[in-house]
């Protein structure tokens, strides 16, 4: 494609140099160029939350962000949440509490939960529900997701 530029992206603690049009969506660059396919697309309009990534620790919809706007920020995807072969406490809690069914919303849901707990380590149930309001889950009815987040919020060390 014409107009491609060399861009430096900080993803999951590493610097990646990618050739991309600055107007491409961050979602596409992560999925297609860096093969980070844990970032999902459910709607392309910021309404479902499946494409959630962390930008400097904040949960953002990567389908609504141009890649150029992500340059210079720390991006975290589900693949970077824990070192290879290990699970983050949120990932373990989602498994243990049955908070995963089809798994399509799960990466975005876990990242939104991480953003919440990093900002507010002891959230109330209502605060958890509101923090996850931008992430749709059609399988679980959310109760087991809330319980998983509560289980982790009760523990001191969440660094995985």
Partner 1 sequence: MKHIAIGKRIPRLDGVEKVTGATLFGADLTLPGMLWGAVLRSPHAHARMRRVDTSKAGRMPGVLAVLTGRDFPRDDGADMPVLARRKVRYQGQAVAAVAAETPEQAAAALARIKVEYQPLPPVNDVREAIRSGAPAVHEQSEDPKLPNVCGVAEVRRGNLQAGFRQAHRIFEDTFETPWVHQGFIEPHVSLASVDPASGRVTVWTSTQAQFNQREGLAHALGLPIGKIRVIGLPVGGAFGGKNALCVEPICAQLARRAGRPVKMVVSRSDDFYATQPCGAAVIELKTGVKKDGTLVAFQARLLFDTGAHPGAQHSTGAVLAQGPYRIPNLHVKAYAVYTNKPPAGARRALTSPHVHFALESQLDIIAHALDLDPVEIRLRNALRKGDPVLGGASMPYTSAGKVVRTAAERAGWAHRARSQARNGKARGWGIAAGHWSVWAGASSAWVQVNEDGTIAVITGAINLTGTNTSFAQIAAESFGVPVDRVTAHQGDTDTSPRNDGSWGSRILFGVGEAVRRACEDAKRQLAESLSNELGVPVGRIKVKGGRVRVAGRGGRFLSLAEAAERAAGYQGAITGKAALTDLPFGVAVAAQVAEVEVDRETGRWQVLRLVCAQDVGFAINPMSVEGQVEGAASQGIGYALCEEYLYDSAGRMLNPDLMDFRLPTAPDHPQFSVHLIEPQQDAGPFGAKGVGEPPLVPTAPAIANAIFDAVGVRIRRLPITPERLHEALQRGG
* CB 110 within 8 Å of CB 59: no
- Computed from CA positions of residues 117, 120, 123, 126, in that sequence, does the dihedral angle turn out positive or negative? negative
State the greatest distance between any 2 C-alpha atoms of the chain, in Å, as a whole number.
Answer: 51
DSSP 63: G
137 is a site residue for partner 1 (CB under 8 A): yes
Binding status of residue 143 toward partner 1 by CB under 8 A: yes
Strands 5-11 and 74-76: parallel
Nearer to partner 1, 8 or 47 (CB): 47
Q: Return the range that interacts with partner 1 (CB under 8 A); candidates 7-15, 42-50, 67-75, 116-124.
A: 42-50
* CB 16, min distance to partner 1, A: 17
Q: How far is the CB of 62 from partner 1 (least distance, A)?
A: 13
Residue for token digits 């709607």? 43
Q: Which residues bind partner 1 (CB under 8 A)?
A: 31, 36-45, 47-48, 50, 77-79, 81-82, 87, 91, 94-96, 98, 100-107, 110, 126, 128-130, 132-146
């Amino acid at each position: 494609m014409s107009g491609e530029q060399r861009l430096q992206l900080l993803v999951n603690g590493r610097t990646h140099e990618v050739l991309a049009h600055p107007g491409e969506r961050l979602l596409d660059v992560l999925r297609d160029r860096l093969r980070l396919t844990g970032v999902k697309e459910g709607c392309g309009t910021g309404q479902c939350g499946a494409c959630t990534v962390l930008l400097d620790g904040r949960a953002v919809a990567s389908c609504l962000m141009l890649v150029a706007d992500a340059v210079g920020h720390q991006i975290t995807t589900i693949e970077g949440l824990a070192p290879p072969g290990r699970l983050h406490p949120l990932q373990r809690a989602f498994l243990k509490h049955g908070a995963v069914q089809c798994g399509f919303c799960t990466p975005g849901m876990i990242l939104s939960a991480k953003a919440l707990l990093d900002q507010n380590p002891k959230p109330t149930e209502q605060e958890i529900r509101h923090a996850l309001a931008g992430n749709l889950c059609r399988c679980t009815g959310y109760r087991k997701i809330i319980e998983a987040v509560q289980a982790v919020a009760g523990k001191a060390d969440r660094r995985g």
